[in-house]
Amino acid sequence: CAFLSDRMRFHVIAAALLWAAFVESRKIRGISSSYKRFYRERKSFLCIDGSKMIPFEQVNDDYCDCADGSDEPGTSACPRGRFYCTNLGFRPHYIPSSRVNDGICFASVMLVLFVPSLAFCSRNLGQKERAYVEGQMKTLDEGLRLKQQLIEEGVLLWREKQAQLRELQRAAEDLQIKLEEHRRRKHEADRLKEQTLKALKAGDKGKSPSIFRTHSETFARFPELFRTRVLCASLSQSLKISAYIYKYIYIYGGALFGNTQCAESQQLRIVNLSDLLFCLAAEWEATDLKKVEEAYETVNMEISDLQRKLGIDYGTDWEYLFLNGQCYKLKVYEYMYTLCPFNMVSQKSSAGVEVSLGKWGMWAGPPKNHYSQMVYENGEPCWQGGSRTTTVTLTCGTETALRLVKEPSKCQYTMDFETPVACQPVLKQRGVHSEL
């Protein structure tokens, strides 16, 4: 009875397999779901390239009718044909149709052979697939852990940058007030110079002292200038002037600013009053005013640079912010490639010639994974026209590094850039199937 039972079981299994083969034969093998619309059963079949119309029953009849091989996706009849492995539970992908039913089980490829070979493929590839998926999951878990750290650091860094911007803006406001005050004082010194020159030209000796007395506060702002630089004849060519002018500047100036500390010989030669006032205005412009202007310009440049950096899209959680200000290098043959995220890409030859391969442009990933690709554009001009551009694909990894550089077409470069922040939790949905 046991023997009969085994025989009956064998016939049941055989019948089931034959039925499955029959059902499968009614389907078009070797096509992906996106191509099913081309293979809806009807009286005729149009080759996908549009070159020929054939009866539908000639699809997968092991004879190649279409030049593009689209009528034989499930056989090896067409040299240009492709077979789509659904690879249920594994990774689906295409293989050349010539490898269908050739008796060889390809790595990570199943359902290529008929049923008797399937069990052998399943055992071998199941072990390999399990090891592969487990390795990928381990990398993903570690990458996600590191990504979370970088997100937390990114949030803190973002707040620091915002605080730095506010501090710079306050400094710019203070410098602007100081700048306006210094410009007012310079204007006052220039006006004083013009008044004095007019008085001297008119020969009004009585008016000159009144100018000094009226603007004694203005002169009092520059005691060091009067005491050592001008009266000691170190800024301008010394000229003999009238005893009246000399006596007034030296004595009255000394009363305002204290002793001039000039040597006896220097006291006999002193700059004339117009030179004195000219040097006063020039010295003021060249020192304090210039310093304030430079400081104000520097702070505003820092504000603009920081605002530009903060205006970049660094991801939903600012996870890519840490990349700004960093550069990553990879040597490929005689060239050194440099990627500075959110800034630029360059290529440097062993001879030291550096070429721009593009400046930061935009994120260019698909809608479901927007932050998976960067585009750097407007690099140095290409000899055949246009400019060099670089597309950077970001991949999940436990390190942040530039892994691969290619030039698939002239002046069009591609890079693979590995970083933990490219790891996506959605990848974990695949999992490792228990039947492996």
- Cβ(168)–Cβ(306) under 8 Å? yes
Convert the pLDDT of each residue in 150-172 to its tens digit: 988 888 888 888 898 999 999 88
pLDDT tens for 246-290 read 444 444 444 444 444 444 444 433 444 444 554 555 555 556 778
Looking at the structure, tell me whether residues 345 and 373 fall in a common domain: yes
Query: Do 296 and 201 fall within a single domain?
Result: yes
Q: How confident is the model at residue 364 (pLDDT cuts 50, 70, 90)?
A: very high
What is the rounded distance in angstroms from the CA atom of residue 82 to the CA atom of residue 88?
18
> What's the rounded mean pLDDT across residues 6-35?
60
Q: Choose one of 98, 113, 128: the last residue of a domain.
A: 113
Q: Are residues 299 and 326 in the same domain?
A: no
CATH code for the domain in which residue 335 is found: 2.70.130.10
Residue 125: inside a domain, yes or no?
Answer: no
Q: Which two tokens stand for residue 172?
A: 């710019």
Asked whether 344 and 356 are in contact (CB, 8 A), the reply is yes
Q: Which residue among 45, 80, 113 closes a domain?
A: 113
Question: What backbone torsions phi and psi does residue 377 show, to the nearest 5 degrees?
Answer: -130, 175
Cα dihedral angle (52, 57, 61, 65), rounded to 10 degrees?
-10
Residue 316 placed within a domain: no
Statement to judge: residues 300 and 182 lie in one domain:
yes
Of 285, 310, 335, the domain-final residue: 310
Which 8-state DSSP code applies to residue 387?
B
Residue 158 counted as domain residue: no
| 183 and 286 co-located in one domain | yes
Q: Looking at the structure, tell me whether residues 70 and 108 fall in a common domain.
A: yes
Quote the pLDDT of residue 11. 56
Does residue 406 sit within a domain? yes
Residues 306 and 356 in one domain: no
User: Considering the domain boundaries, does residue 129 fall inside one?
Assistant: no
Residues 379 and 345 in one domain: yes
Mean pLDDT lowest for which of 210-219, 388-397, 425-434?
Answer: 425-434
| Higher local confidence (pLDDT), 336 or 271 | 336
> Is 213 inside a domain boundary?
yes
CA-based nearest residue to 432, from 104, 198, 127: 127
Q: How many domains is the chain built from? A: 3
Q: Is residue 341 part of a domain?
A: yes
Give tens-digit pLDDT for 72-110.
888 888 877 788 887 665 567 777 776 776 666 654 444
245-249, 333-337, 349-353, 417-421: least confidently modelled range: 245-249
Are 84 and 180 members of one domain? Answer: no
pLDDT at 289: 76
Structural domain including 12 reads 2-113
Identify the bridge partners of residue 45 per DSSP, sorted by sequence position. 54
Compute the mean pLDDT over every residue in the chain, rounded to the nearest whole number: 73
Pair 304, 373 in one domain: no
pLDDT exceeds 50 at position 306: yes
**In-domain check, residue 255:** yes
